[in-house]
Amino acid sequence: MTQIHPTALVDPAAQLDASVTVGPYTPVANSRLVAFALYRRGGSINQVTKATISTEMPWIERADAVQALVSPTSARATVWTAVAGSNPTPISTIFDSANGNVIWGVICQIPDSLLDFSNVGGDIDTNGDPAPVLAAAALDDSLLIAGCAVTLNENLGQQPPDPYLTTPPGFTNLFNGARAIGTSQNPLAVQVCYRIAKGANGAAWNSAGFISASVIIEVKHV
């Protein structure tokens, strides 16, 4: 249960787009998938629209956290889960936010069929330090997976260090990226990371960013 096989593919064109395609990839038969969309909108009076996920599998939304519009930026993190079939074929997954202007999609694959995903949490923060906490205490042997999106205070249009975010204490990095967004907006940094709970119930980022959103999910063996 502690083994995690990630697919973390990013479409480079998604830096200035509302959608990103992950794949193609072939899930392990009967495995469980956890998908994160980490995204934002800037330079607008409108809050970023919740992302949709393509329906090649019956994805279930588990948690969503959105930082409302702040001068004029909005960040969001959404997580879904799905069950791979007994005879999976190659698929691609599309994440799309109707008005987002940068979005990452990260898919984690867990080769275990007896899992529960009902315990989740989310957090938003205007100082770049989101700290999502699960709604209930996690089992010690559960897997925790967390993802966040942080708008950075780098110069507009300049590429920040990549990776940018420091992995929360106790977690292992799965995917960590940062991208400049055109010439008139602040860059965006994202991360997905994981750990065995062992008494932990949340994750805590500490960054030099500002507008941010994050989610966390317990992968519990049943």
d(CA 100, CA 41): 5
DSSP class per residue in 149-182: EEE--SPTTPPPPSS-SPPPTT-EEEEEEEEEET
In the chain, DSSP finds a helix count (H) and a strand count (E) of 0, 14
Q: Per-residue pLDDT tens for 140-174?
A: 999 999 999 998 876 666 677 778 899 999 999 98
Tens digit of each residue's pLDDT, the chain (222 residues): 444 545 555 554 455 677 888 888 888 898 889 999 999 886 666 788 899 999 888 999 999 999 886 666 789 999 999 998 899 898 889 999 988 878 888 998 888 777 899 999 999 999 999 999 999 999 999 999 999 999 887 666 667 777 889 999 999 998 898 877 766 677 889 999 999 999 999 999 999 888 899 999 999 988
Domain range spanning residue 13? 5-221
Number of domains within the chain: 1
Whether 103 and 213 have beta carbons less than 8 Å apart is answered as no
